[in-house]
Amino acid sequence: MPERPATLDYLTRVVQAAEEAGCVNILVPTGTHCVDSWETAAAISMKTRKIKFLVAFRPGLVGPVFATQQANSLDYLTGGRISLNVVSGANQADLKRYGYHAPHDERYEVIEEFLEIVNLLWEEKSPVTFNGRFFQIEDAHVWPPRVTRPNPTIFVAGSSDSGKRVAARFGDVHVFFAYEPEVVAADVREVRELASRFPREQPLEFGVRHCVCVRETKEEARRAAEDMIGDATDLANTATWADSIRLGESISQRRINEMSSRGSYWLTDTLFMGVNRVRAGGATMFVGTPEMVAAQIREYVDAGVTHFIMHGWPYLEEAEIFGREVMTLLKDVDPVLLPEPVE
């Protein structure tokens, strides 16, 4: 079975494998389908050395001052090993489980106001008072101070106009699902131009969210990918994810749904869309030999992508395979290397 119980021991082994593979960040997801992202990152950070935690959270479910304190605290306690995945919550069904009923565009308005307050708090100039449409803050400041300067990296996803605006204004990395490379390249050009209209200390970077399935031969990889969506697999029995596909408002999810309904799940020899049958989100899977997957990654690098948020099933083994077989083939794209921690 591709899924295993999300015990602390198993999740720690997955993160350790990603760290050993040379990954810089590991996404810690949020939603009613998973354990809490902040607590998970905090627990696993004590058993890892240098990998960073891309902690996903949803503005609106938590206020900006408390979220800033959470982020600062984890950044402080880990010595600067966090980044932030600001989630609009495209899955309205999941949001309603939390009691949050704001419509799609309003959620992005909440995020903009939320991040404006976070940035004011990070300036550390004086207590923050803010009177907005969604948040009214009086004399706010937080402790402890963050370690990462100027700020932890903020990842923002979204292919709607609202999502692109938030990323252009507040994001450090704008994340797309892995549409076809030429589509991603066009989106990169559009959002890069939009970001140029806002005052920014650093240029906006871009990432894609996707799955991987790497095997020794093309045939073995293809068979493994197709087996993941069979009726016998646990992967096909997750109601929360099924709701995401059926009920989601996300423009990104609609694009993925369209890519998955063209008559074949195989868009190319390497791009497989079958996972979208049972899982929402970054369901584009890069499938093949190490050389095939490395070549596919290079296509996205050429499109302007510098961040790849990926996973495969089973998580542990796929992380080990990717680090051992694929990372060594990608030295020509100048991957980021984390420094060894000071003991």
Domains detected in the chain: 8-333 (3.20.20.30)
For residue 239, what pLDDT is reported?
A: 45
Element (H, E) at 137: strand 136-140
**pLDDT tens across the length of the chain (343 residues):** 356 888 999 999 999 999 999 999 999 999 888 899 999 999 999 999 999 999 999 999 999 999 999 999 999 999 999 999 999 866 778 888 888 888 888 999 999 999 999 999 999 999 999 999 999 999 999 999 999 999 999 999 988 899 999 999 999 999 999 999 999 999 999 999 999 999 999 999 999 999 999 999 999 999 999 998 875 455 544 444 455 545 456 777 888 888 888 889 999 999 999 998 877 677 899 999 999 999 999 999 999 999 999 999 999 999 999 999 999 999 999 888 778 876 6
| Cα–Cα distance for residue pair 324/128, rounded to 1 Å | 48
Write down the pLDDT at residue 342: 65
The C-alpha torsion from 227 through 232 and 234 to 239, rounded to 10°, is: 110
CA atoms within 13 A on the CB side of 165: 11
Q: What is d(CA 49, CA 340) in angstroms, rounded to the nearest whole number?
A: 8
Q: Are 211 and 318 spatial neighbours (Cβ–Cβ below 8 Å)?
A: no
- The secondary structure of residue 173, as a DSSP letter, is E
pLDDT (0 to 100) of residue 100: 85
Instruction: Give residue for tokens 């089973």.
Output: 314
Per-residue model confidence (pLDDT) at position 226: 94
- Which of 342, 229, 227, 218 is closest to 287 using CA atoms? 218
Residues 268, 255: Cα–Cα separation, whole Å: 17
For the chain, give the longest Cα–Cα distance: 62
Structure-block tokens of residue 204:
């906006």
- Tokens coding 338: 């984390």
Q: 161-170 vs 104-123: helix axis angle to the nearest 10?
A: 0
Residues 221/289, Cβ–Cβ less than 8 Å = yes
The reported pLDDT for the residue numbered 235 is 52
What is residue 52's predicted lDDT score, i.e. its pLDDT? Answer: 98
Render the burial of 293-332: b for 16+ CB within 10 Å, e for the rest.
bbebbbbbbebbbebbbbbbbebbebbbbbbebbeeebee
How does strand 128-131 pair with strand 205-214? unpaired
Tell me which H or E stretch contains 196.
none
**How far apart (Å, rounded) are the C-alpha atoms in residues 166 and 173?**
11
What pLDDT, on a 0 to 100 scale, did the predictor assign at position 237? 45
Find tokens 């990954």 and name the residue: 23
pLDDT of residue 40: 98
HSE-CB for 294 with a 13 A CA cutoff: 18
Look at residue 1 in the predicted model and tell me its pLDDT: 39
Q: What is this structure's pTM?
A: 0.92
Residue 207, strand partner residues:
175, 307
Whole-angstrom Cα distance, residue 190 to residue 306? Answer: 16
